[in-house]
């Protein structure tokens, strides 16, 4: 009788998603998307509420999708993995609300629309930032951990600014959102470079 154990069955979907989540190109793409949306807002400072809702809604949809996929990274702890999935789903929901222009359709005035838009954007940044920060802190073996911590902190700072700072005008929201997306995107690109270097060494 042979003592050789049969190899464990591997879920093809989980294996492929894990490989995708480990890919530095995915992190790079996420960073470039953030940079692109940030530049778009800064280059168009006279954006309307509908345009801002659409741009930031699309960014939250992309960020939510990346975080759901990122939850398959094998170096993440169980709690961090759950946090990534949860924040990804929340981001997707908020992104859908913004893309469908719930803000502009249901608000009775520009002031109310701006306030509701700020709350949704701040909430999206907050859950994304917390997920990045907690996921990186709880996973010491995560490649590019420092960059993930930094981008998480920046996301939380962006959320605090948008939620706590009274945004008196649409222009202020555009500039704050554009700058924060640009900075977060740059840190994500930096993390992709570190991840690529780590994958080469491995």
DSSP string of the chain, one letter each residue: ---PPPPPP--HHHHHHHHHHH-HHHHHHHHHHHHHHHHHHHH-TT--HHHHHHHHHHHHHHHHHHHHHHTT-TTS-HHHHHHHHHHHHHHHHHHHHHHTTHHHHH-SSHHHHHHHHHHHHHHHHHHHHHHHHHHHHT-TT-TTHHHHHHHHHHHHHHHHHHHHS---SHHHHHHHHHHHHHHHHHHHHHHHHHHHHHHHH-
pLDDT of residue 166: 61
Confirm if 170 and 52 have CB atoms less than 8 A apart.
Answer: yes
Among candidate residues 59, 90, 19, the one with its CA nearest the CA of residue 178: 59
Give the pLDDT confidence of 96-143 residue by residue, as tens digits: 888 876 655 554 566 777 778 888 888 888 988 888 888 788 777 766
Among candidate residues 142, 161, 158, 140, the one with its CA nearest the CA of residue 37: 158
Q: How many residues does the chain have?
A: 202
- Report the distance separating Cα 87 and Cα 126, nearest Å: 9
pLDDT interval class at 147 (50, 70, 90): confident
- Report the distance separating Cα 47 and Cα 171, nearest Å: 8
Higher-scoring residue by pLDDT: 37, 202:
37
pLDDT interval class at 10 (50, 70, 90): very low
Give the pLDDT confidence of 24-79 residue by residue, as tens digits: 777 788 889 889 988 988 887 677 777 888 888 888 898 888 888 877 776 666 77
Confirm if 148 and 132 have CB atoms less than 8 A apart.
Answer: yes
| Residue 145 in this model has a pLDDT that exceeds 60 | yes
pLDDT interval class at 11 (50, 70, 90): low
- Report the distance separating Cα 76 and Cα 90, nearest Å: 19
| Residue 186 in this model has a pLDDT that exceeds 50 | yes
């Amino acid at each position: 009788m042979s003592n050789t154990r049969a190899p464990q069955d591997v879920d093809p979907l989980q294996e492929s998603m894990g490989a995708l989540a480990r890919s530095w190109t995915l992190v790079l793409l996420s960073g470039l998307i953030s940079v692109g949306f940030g530049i778009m807002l800064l280059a168009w400072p006279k954006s309307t509420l509908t345009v801002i809702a659409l741009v930031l809604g699309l960014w939250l949809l992309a960020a939510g999708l990346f975080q759901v996929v990122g939850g398959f990274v094998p170096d993440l702890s169980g709690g961090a993995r759950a946090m990534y999935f949860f924040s990804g789903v929340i981001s997707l929901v908020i992104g859908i609300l913004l893309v469908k222009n719930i803000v502009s359709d249901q608000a009775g005035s520009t002031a109310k629309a701006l306030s509701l838009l700020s709350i949704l954007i701040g909430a999206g940044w907050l859950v994304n930032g917390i997920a990045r920060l907690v996921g990186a802190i709880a996973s010491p073996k995560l490649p590019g951990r420092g960059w993930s911590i930094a981008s998480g902190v920046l996301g939380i700072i962006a959320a605090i600014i948008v939620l706590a700072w009274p945004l008196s005008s649409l222009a202020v929201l555009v500039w704050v959102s554009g700058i924060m997306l640009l900075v977060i995107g740059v840190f994500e690109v930096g993390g992709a470079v570190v991840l690529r270097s780590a994958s080469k060494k491995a």
